[in-house]
């Protein structure tokens, strides 16, 4: 190999930077979705690489379900402040109170209620583009999504009618009321994300590393004990050494037993893993087409 050669992370990086700069150049009011999770942490680094020494030209947007891990929110707020960015938080609780999001009777999960909350935020700030950290390797419906994913005035994704995406020519043209979701990490895998975090020495929330936590076993998964879903009679609470592999809401995020204390440990663990990242998310297991259905309605 000659010196004019990029390795796989450099390739993924230059592709993602190109995509982010296209957004900054072609949209009037873009936002960058930042949850504090590992994928969006990479997005922020890529935004620095794309836009420094100028300011990052997008505000950061997060939909807070009210069921987040507290460690995640603390990290989110601190990291956004460090980068000097404007952090916009819209809460599912407020959306429920204002009648924007309406839970089904008995529905505890906030997963679906994120959708109307996000769409209302897009309308409120008239965002014409939201940059997100979704990856195609996460899930089968995501595997079919473009870098520039067009959403109609109802926020819907139409998988049968996507714009052809050719070379590195992204078509960002939209009519008023429509918007674009853009995914710079489309071609990244879970492994790439962790290798990048390692290479760039990025800080991540502590819950990605092993720690002691009280857990209960439900539907083949260890779930964290918390006030929202207290242990039922007969359920045994066990203190285990665990970490999260992917962060969803606290009520649905499965914990994996793991001794991984560093990014290198995590990379070694993923290399040997026998289940996918989303295998630990109860929200995706609910049906074969769970993600597809949510995405069509405007989910990320």
Partner 1 sequence: MSTSRSHPANHPVEILRFNTCGSVDDGKSTLIGRLLYDSKSLMEDQIEALERSADITGGGQINLANLTDGLRAEREQGITIDVAYRYFATPRRKFIVADTPGHVQYTRNMVTGASASNLAIVLVDARQGVIEQSRRHTYLTSLLRIPHLVIAVNKMDLVGWSEERFLEIRESFESFLPLLDIKDVKFIPLSALNGDNVVDGSKHTPWYTGPNLLGHLETVHIGSDWNLHGFRFPVQWVNRPNNPHDPRLHDFRGFSGQIAGGIVKVGQKVMILPSGLKSRIKEIWTLNGSLPEAFCPQSVTLVLEDDVDVSRGDLIVGLDSLPGMSTELHAHVCWMNPRPLQRGRKYFLKHTTQTLQAIITALENRIDIHTFEPQPAPDELAMNDIGEIRITTAKPVAYDGYVTNRLTGSFILIEQGTNQTVAAGMLLPPQEAVRPEYNDFAI
- Looking at the Cβ atoms of 52 and 232, the one nearer to partner 1 is 52
Q: Should residue 86 be labelled a site residue for partner 1 when binding is judged by CB under 8 A? A: no
Number of CB atoms found within 10 A of residue 239's CB = 10
Q: Should residue 236 be labelled a site residue for partner 1 when binding is judged by CB under 8 A? A: no
Q: Should residue 25 be labelled a site residue for partner 1 when binding is judged by CB under 8 A? A: yes
Q: Should residue 17 be labelled a site residue for partner 1 when binding is judged by CB under 8 A? A: yes
Taking the complex as a whole, the smallest distance from the CB of residue 78 to partner 1 amounts, in Å, to 19
Q: Kindly indicate which of the ranges 28-36, 61-69, 93-101, 276-284 contains the residues binding partner 1, using the contact rule CB under 8 A.
A: 276-284
Interstrand relation of 129-131 and 87-91 (parallel, antiparallel or unpaired): unpaired
Q: CB within 8 A of 116, min separation 6: which ones? A: 95, 100, 101, 102, 298
The residue from 78, 126, 173, 217 that contacts partner 1 (CB under 8 A) is: 173
> Using CB atoms within 10 A of its CB, is residue 143 exposed (0-12), middle (13-18) or buried (19+)?
exposed
Residue numbers 27-66 binding partner 1 by CB under 8 A? 48-55
- Taking CB under 8 A as the rule, which mask of x and - marks residues 111-150 in contact with partner 1? -------------------------xx-xxx-xx------
Q: CB within 8 A of 234, min separation 6: which ones? A: none
Q: Should residue 24 be labelled a site residue for partner 1 when binding is judged by CB under 8 A? A: yes
The residue from 73, 125, 270, 297 that contacts partner 1 (CB under 8 A) is: 270
- In angstroms, the Cα distances linking 214 to 126, 127, 159, 251, 271 are 42, 40, 41, 13, 27
Cα angle 129-133-137, degrees, rounded to a multiple of 5: 125
Q: Should residue 91 be labelled a site residue for partner 1 when binding is judged by CB under 8 A? A: no
The residue from 28, 212, 233, 271 that contacts partner 1 (CB under 8 A) is: 271
Q: Should residue 171 be labelled a site residue for partner 1 when binding is judged by CB under 8 A? A: yes
Q: Should residue 162 be labelled a site residue for partner 1 when binding is judged by CB under 8 A? A: yes
Residues forming contacts to partner 1 in the complex (CB under 8 A) are 1-2, 4-8, 10-15, 17-18, 21-22, 24-25, 48-55, 136-137, 139-141, 143-144, 159-160, 162-169, 171, 173-175, 186-187, 189-192, 267, 270-279, 288-289, 292
């Amino acid at each position: 190999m000659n010196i004019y050669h990029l390795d796989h992370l450099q390739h993924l990086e230059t592709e993602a930077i190109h995509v982010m700069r296209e957004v900054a150049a072609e949209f009037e009011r873009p936002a960058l979705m930042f949850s504090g999770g590992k994928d969006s942490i990479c997005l922020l680094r890529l935004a620095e690489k794309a836009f420094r020494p100028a300011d990052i030209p997008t505000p950061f947007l997060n939909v807070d379900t009210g069921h987040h891990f507290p460690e995640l929110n603390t990290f989110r707020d601190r990291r956004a402040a460090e980068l000097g960015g404007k952090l916009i938080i819209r809460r599912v609780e407020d959306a429920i109170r204002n009648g924007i999001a309406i839970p089904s009777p008995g529905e505890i999960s906030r997963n679906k209620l994120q959708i109307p909350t996000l769409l209302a935020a897009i309308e409120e700030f008239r965002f014409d583009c939201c940059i997100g950290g979704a990856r195609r390797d996460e899930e089968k419906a995501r595997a079919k999504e473009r870098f520039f994913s067009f959403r109609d005035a109802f926020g819907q994704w139409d998988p049968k009618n996507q714009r052809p995406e050719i070379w590195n020519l992204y078509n960002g043209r939209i009519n008023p009321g429509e918007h674009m979701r853009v995914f710079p990490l489309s071609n990244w895998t879970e492994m790439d994300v962790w290798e990048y975090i390692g290479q760039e020495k990025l800080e991540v929330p502590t819950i990605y590393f092993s720690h002691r936590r009280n857990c209960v076993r439900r539907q083949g998964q260890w779930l964290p004990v918390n006030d929202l879903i207290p242990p039922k009679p007969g359920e045994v609470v066990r203190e285990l050494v665990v970490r999260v592999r992917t962060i969803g809401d606290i009520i649905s995020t499965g914990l994996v037993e793991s001794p991984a204390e560093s990014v290198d440990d995590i990379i070694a663990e993923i290399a040997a893993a026998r289940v996918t990242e989303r295998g630990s998310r109860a929200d995706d297991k609910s049906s074969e087409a769970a993600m597809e259905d949510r995405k069509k309605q405007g989910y990320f």
